[in-house]
Amino acid sequence: MRLASFRQAGVEKFGAVVDDGIVDLSARFQGRWASLRDALADNGIDQLTAAVRNQKADFTLDAIELLPVVPNPDKILCIGVNYASHAGEVGREPPPQPSVFSRLNNTLVPHGGSIVRPSASIAFDFEGELAVVIGTRCRHVPRAQALAMVAGYTCFFDGSVRDFQKHSVTAGKNFPATGPLGPWMVTADVIPDPQALELTTRLNGAVVQHDTTDHMIFDVATIIEYLSTITPLEPGDIIATGTPDGVGLVRKPPLWMKAGDKVEVEISAIGTLSVNVVDE
């Protein structure tokens, strides 16, 4: 099942994507769950699945405005340098444990939206990533049980301001509207093995990154085990799992994103996240 958050007639809703439309689950669970995050927190995926069965779309996709999959996550946690190929291209040794940084909610951008190159820098880089959506509140999760905590998976784009990142990872990763997330979440039952996915990033139609998630240094289960040791993970929390090689920073000359560019992150079994680049 593909679950999405969206805006229709000025109202924020959530639903299930079927064919080229969306079933409005907000209407079917009105008064109970106001958002996808609420449904996840109430362990509602099975009920959402039942509600969608044999239903026709209420709206076509072009009649709605998609929002970030979870517009209001409690946390956005990101793993840096998590592919050996990327570690090598930036001249770093593979880290001995996951390298964690966080993002703010105001960095999120929906599919079809605009990612904003900040006026403070031209060193605006692309990083396509697999993102995990947590489905169950958890703490101190053993690796063997970690994937049971996942509600689903989606695409993430980690827009990185490289010159600021040199002196502060937090600064370089937290300019507003630099973190596209979507277009929807594919539930975990559809993707039993998140390490068997193919990831492709395209800039203006040209492939700039291509790899498979089995090349992660730390797999999804290990990441969840590690993060849940640090802090409780909440339903709707987003975990970005790192990017493979091919980033603009290491190219000669560097390949920075600019206004007018189109960026896509495609992940097998999930779909394609697409955004445009604009200047602040």
d(CA 189, CA 151): 9
pLDDT of residue 91: 83
Place of tokens 């973190």: 179
Is the overall model pTM greater than 0.75, yes or no?
yes
CA-based end-to-end distance of the chain: 36
pLDDT of residue 89: 86
Q: What CATH number labels 76-279?
A: 3.90.850.10
pLDDT of residue 1: 97
Q: Any idea where the domains of the chain sit in the sequence?
A: 2-66, 76-279
pLDDT in tens, the chain (280 residues): 999 999 999 999 999 999 889 999 999 999 899 999 999 999 999 999 999 999 999 999 999 999 999 999 999 999 999 999 898 888 888 899 999 999 999 999 999 999 999 999 999 999 999 999 999 999 999 999 999 999 999 999 999 999 999 999 999 999 999 999 999 999 999 999 999 999 999 999 999 999 999 999 999 999 999 999 999 999 999 999 999 999 999 999 999 999 999 999 999 999 999 999 999 9
